[in-house]
Structure 1
Amino acid sequence: MIQLKHDQVREHLRALIESGLQVGAPLPSERELCKQFGVSRMTVRQATDALVNEGLLERVQGRGTFVSRPHIDLQLRLSSFAEEMSKRGLSPSARYLQAEETEADPVVATALETSIGVPVYHFRRVRYGSGMPISIQEDWMPAKLAPGLLTEGMPASLYATLKQHGMPPQWGEDTITTKLITDEEAELLEQTPPQAGLYVTRRTFSGETAVLCSKTLYRHDRYSLWVPVSSPSPTMSGQQLPNTRRK
């Protein structure tokens, strides 16, 4: 019976949210919900906990429970930020923090499979979805792939730039971790530290050529990672998976 009541409260709150409660709107108090459904505070708390875990609600200590901004699924696929935002009905934009031609340091040179000191473009941007800060992204690209790029103004999309210069992004390698954001990153992402972020480093290739290396810090409260998986084919069972790239 408790589980039934818990489901009723949860689905009632879900219906309230889906019927038009605005982001940031407060929920009815636990006391009101207890009285309305004739249940204990524990049952109400179980219902709201479930919706907090789904990302529909968020708790603010000392203030209450509120309708949360929707999470964005981060699907691992080789597409531009603008394409990902557009698929989710959000308007993409960016604010450049840095744009320069510099020399590849040892870390960048290794990632781009080039020599230390070769010219590379370096960009750092805050990426937005419909005005909401989503991520801080840093990119390095060999300058020889798009000569004179910075004289043409800030590129709207590095993927589009690479396509225009005959080096379309075709595949990549991602490494995903978490990290504590700095005070500067918290300010850019409109968060209050201490917070953790989803940290993705990517190498992007066109054929066998490394064309871009990126580091992106996503807000943990706005992104969830979605990774499709499948069982191995019968011919691969018990065997070592082949390398995806030639050495």
Structure 2
Amino acid sequence: MKNLPLPLHYQISNELRKKLIDSQWAVGELFPGDKELMQIFNVSSTTVRRAIDELVREGWLERKPGKGTFIKRQYIETLGKLNGFFDIVRDKGYRPSSQVLQLEEVDIDTFEDSELSLFNSSRLFLIKKVQFVDENPIVLVKSFWPIEIGQKLAKYNLTNQGTYEIIQKELGIKLQEAHQYISAAIAGIEEAEYLELQPGDPILMMKRMAFLGDKPVELSVNYYRADRYRYRVVLKNEAVNIEDGILF
């Protein structure tokens, strides 16, 4: 490790961050102490403290005077799969749930999203809800569906079952493709209220149009807590065979 050009504390923080991302420790668990990390990495206490300070600043760890350093949070992240929130969270070993805020037919003219016109209908079915991970609010969802599909979804318990899970397993609709856009945003009054943030706090805004063939079946506009959720994109060099590894 010492032969690498990057500063030692940066190398250590990177390695520890990867372990945190891979959920090697649970939220609330005691993190290894400075002496243990000094032995593992064969570095000085100053180097270890600088690495840990970086992870504390990023929100991964929390120092508690007289008690030690504890795991503060772990990100929920998505890859390039057409999966629903419930599937993603369960795969990470957490417990997903939802609070349904609105289930009703709406006139698309009352909304500003131009993509709604792709449905070729003046009215759609809106499912609005807050989704939680282990009872912590993560995302405010506004999901628009053709009325006949939305009415069927509304018959299910959406507090403990995801819409994609219902669509594919219960209704037999196999979503084939989605166009997804992600951008930075700030929390407005509504987002701040439901996500337990302050107005103006940074959030992620994701907009996704899902298709069945060339027919749109859902427009989802989601607002995520940026400190709890992120997107990970795996990039592959076309000159590298799959068995040679994934570039990230």
The reply to whether TM is greater than 0.5 is yes
Describe the shift of the 1:204–1:21 C-alpha distance in structure 2 as closer, same or farther (beyond 3 A).
Answer: closer
Select 2:223's aligned residue among 217, 228, 237: 217
> Which residue type is aligned with residue 159 of structure 1?
Y
Select 2:93's aligned residue among 86, 89, 98: 89
Query: Which stretch shows the higher mean deviation, 108-117 or 140-149?
Result: 108-117
Select 1:50's aligned residue among 49, 54, 58: 54
- Unmatched runs of 5 consecutive residues or more in structure 1: 235-247
Q: 1:108-142: CA deviations, max 9, x gaps?
A: 5744623352x311011110112121111110000
- Once residues 129 and 123 of structure 1 are traced to their aligned partners in structure 2, the CA distance between those partners, rounded to angstroms, is 19
- Unmatched runs of 5 consecutive residues or more in structure 2: 241-248
Q: 1:144-200: CA deviations, max 9, x gaps?
A: 3355554x2554332234334443211100011010112332232223444101111
TM-score (norm 1): 0.69
Shift of 1:78: 0.4
Match of 1:139 in 2: 143
Describe the shift of the 1:146–1:66 C-alpha distance in structure 2 as closer, same or farther (beyond 3 A).
Answer: closer
- Once residues 140 and 27 of structure 2 are traced to their aligned partners in structure 1, the CA distance between those partners, rounded to angstroms, is 26
Shift of 1:229: 1.5
Match of 1:228 in 2: 234
Contact 2:27 2:74 in 1 (8 A): no
**What value does the CA root-mean-square deviation take over the aligned residues?**
4.0
The 5 Å alignment of 1:156-235 reads 156-163=161-168, 164-232=170-238
TM-score (norm 2): 0.69
Larger C-alpha radius of gyration, 1 or 2? 1
Shift of 1:220: 0.8
Q: 1:24-79: CA deviations, max 9, x gaps?
A: 979989xxx9xxx9755xx465222432477522589xxxx863211122223201
> Does residue 126 of structure 2 align to residue 122 of structure 1?
yes
Match of 1:98 in 2: 102
Size of the alignment, in residue pairs?
216
Match of 1:77 in 2: 81
> Which residue type is aligned with residue 132 of structure 2?
Y
